[in-house]
Amino acid sequence: MSLLADLTAGSVADANARKAARPKSAVEKAALAQAPALDALEWLAPAEQVKIIAEVKRASPSRGDLSEIPDPAQLAVTYETGGASAISVLTEERRFKGSLADLEAVRSAVSIPVLRKDFMATEYQIFEARAAGADLVLLIVAALEQKKLAGLHQLARELGMTALVETHSEEEIDRALEIGAGLIGVNARDLTNFELDKDLFGRVADRIPAGVVRVAESAVLKRRDVARYREAGADVVLVGEALVTDGDPIRTLEKFLSV
C-alpha cells in the first residue's frame, strides 16, 4: 500500500470509529446548525501581496515530531495577528498528532477561514469538518477516484465550504478543473514517497487558468522559497514546518509577506 493510501485508510478508519459513537445523522445535524462558513475564495483571492495559509502541524511522517503545540488556538491567533489569510489545521491523528478538537479550538479563536487538512475520503469526514467549524476541506486528487472526488467536492460546496483540491501533476490539475475546483493546490511533496520537488509548481502552474486561485504547498523554509512560488504565479502559499519550528512566527510571516 502506498503511503498516501495508508494515511487515507487510517483517517477513514478513525472516522468510522468516531461514527460508532456519533452517527452520521447527528454529525449532519451539527454541520447544518453551524454558523455559515466563511467564503475562503474571497479571503484567498489574488491580490498585490502574496497570501499565506499558516499551518498548525505537530508532526509529520517525513519529519517526525516538529513542535508540541500545547495550545493550537494560541498559535492560530499568532498566525492571524501576523497576517495569515487562513489557518490550516492538520486533524490526522496517527502520524500528524492532530485532532478535530484542535480544529474546534482554532475555529473559536480566529476570524479568518480554517482548513481541515486531513485525508478525506468519506461524506462523514466532510460533515465532521463543517460540524467542527471548518470553512475549507482538503481533497487530494491522487487519493480519490474521479467520481468520489466530484461527490465530496459537491458536498463541501452544498455545506457552504470551499475545497482546496490538491494536485501533484498536470493530469491531476485537469481532474481538479473537471470538477470545477475554484481553489487548486500544487503540493511540492510527493505523498507517495515524501520527495520534495520545489520546481513542480513553476512547471505546472500555467495549467491553472485565470479565475482559479493557485496555492503552492510545502517546502517553504526561507523567504526566497515564497519569492520563487510567487514569481511562478502563486496567489497563496501554504506553510507548515517553517512556522511551527520557528520561535517567532510573526517575524517569519512578516518576512514571507514582504515578498
Q: How far is the CB of 32 from ligand LARABZUK (least distance, A)?
A: 29
What residue ranges bind ligand LARABZUK (CB under 6 A)?
Answer: 7, 55, 57, 60-63, 187, 189, 191, 194, 217-220, 238-242
193 catalytic per annotation: no
Comparing every residue's Cβ against ligand LARABZUK, the nearest one is 240
C-alpha cell at 27: 454529525
The Cβ-side half-sphere exposure at 20, using a 13 Å CA radius, reads: 5
In angstroms, what CA-CA distances link 92 with 46, 102, 197, 229?
Answer: 29, 10, 23, 27
Residue closer to ligand LARABZUK by CB (options 31, 234) is: 234
Residue closer to ligand LARABZUK by CB (options 179, 239) is: 239
Across-strand partners of 150?
none
145 catalytic per annotation: no
d(CA 256, CA 235): 13
Residue closer to ligand LARABZUK by CB (options 170, 197) is: 197
Across-strand partners of 238?
53, 217
158 catalytic per annotation: no
2 catalytic per annotation: no
217 catalytic per annotation: yes
Marked catalytic residue, from 88, 117, 128, 241: 117
57 catalytic per annotation: yes
Marked catalytic residue, from 11, 51, 57, 85: 57
Residue closer to ligand LARABZUK by CB (options 27, 189) is: 189
Q: How far apart are the first and last CA of the chain?
A: 40
Helix and strand numbers, DSSP H then E, in the chain: 12, 10
d(CA 80, CA 57): 16
Q: Which residues are catalytic?
A: 55, 57, 117, 166, 187, 217-218
